[in-house]
Chain A
Amino acid sequence: EIVLTQSPGTLSLSPGERVTLSCRASQSVTNSYLAWYQQKPGQAPRLLIHGVSTRATGIPDRFSGSGSGTDFTLTISRLEPEDFAVYYCQQYANSWTFGQGTKVEIK
């Protein structure tokens, strides 16, 4: 099983700031099989990015994904008020597992 470790656990930021979230895998994630989800309180998760860097339909271009092998990043170029949420990475190269999440909160 591939274990995904997300860091940091919590980020306290202000609207307008740039955000970089990390997702590190215990072994290589092949075929770019990595996705990112956003979850707001009381809501189901929402797909943001799949295949490391492909935005899902309707996702603003301020969200971008990058990385390869064992290190992956989700970047939000400029935080909007609606972006404060928990973000999860998911790998689907070897079974399917999620990271533990990073909470982006308002400073």
Chain B
Amino acid sequence: QVQLQESGPGLLKPSDTLSLICAVSGYSITNNYYWGWVRQPPGKGLEWIGTIHHSGTTYYNPSLNSRVTMSVDTSKNQFSLQLTSVTASDTALYYCTRQYDGSGSHPAVLGCWGQGTLVTVSS
């Protein structure tokens, strides 16, 4: 059974670069599904950040596109997120995700989620 585990610094200063890793276990990242990131500010709703395929194809939220980079490390079976020039508004619980593996699924349909990692941006 696939499991996703986020890791990375929990506290950043304004203008820092946020770097998170999602370690995938129980499933090969090179199988034909998309992997991604969603965030949730404390007490608020969900925001899609971006999605990546092991082939390198990426889709980013247009509102974050200029600051986001995602990559895949097939040797470690993990993928990563970088978000530059963070501000307090980037404070959130960051989830890594995998596309749902059911029939007719679309890359945006998120069937598997990590437990999330809280990133706080504060001076």
**A99 B45 Cβ-Cβ under 8 A:** yes
The chain B residue with its CB closest to the CB of A33 is B106
Chain B proximity of A10: nearest CB distance (Å): 14
Q: Is B47 an interface residue (CB 8 A)?
A: yes
- Min CB–CB distance B100 → chain A (angstroms): 6
Main secondary structure of the interface of A (DSSP, over half): loop
User: How many A residues face the partner with a CB closer than 8 A?
Assistant: 23
Write the nearest CB–CB distance from B2 to chain A, whole angstroms. Answer: 13
> A66: CB under 8 A from chain B?
no
0/1 interface trace, chain A 72-92, chain B, CB 8 Å (1 if under): 000000000000000010101
When distances are taken between beta carbons in the complex, the residues of chain B under 8 Å from A45 are 38, 46, 95, 110, 113
A95 within 8 A of B: yes
Residues of chain B at the chain A interface (Cβ within 8 Å): 38, 45-48, 51, 59, 61-63, 95, 100, 102, 104-111, 113-116
- Beyond the given A51-B106, A88-B45, A92-B106, please list 18 additional residue pairs across the A-B interface where CB-CB is below 8 A: A33-B106, A35-B108, A35-B110, A44-B95, A44-B113, A45-B46, A45-B110, A46-B113, A47-B110, A50-B106, A88-B46, A92-B108, A96-B48, A96-B61, A97-B48, A99-B45, A100-B45, A101-B45
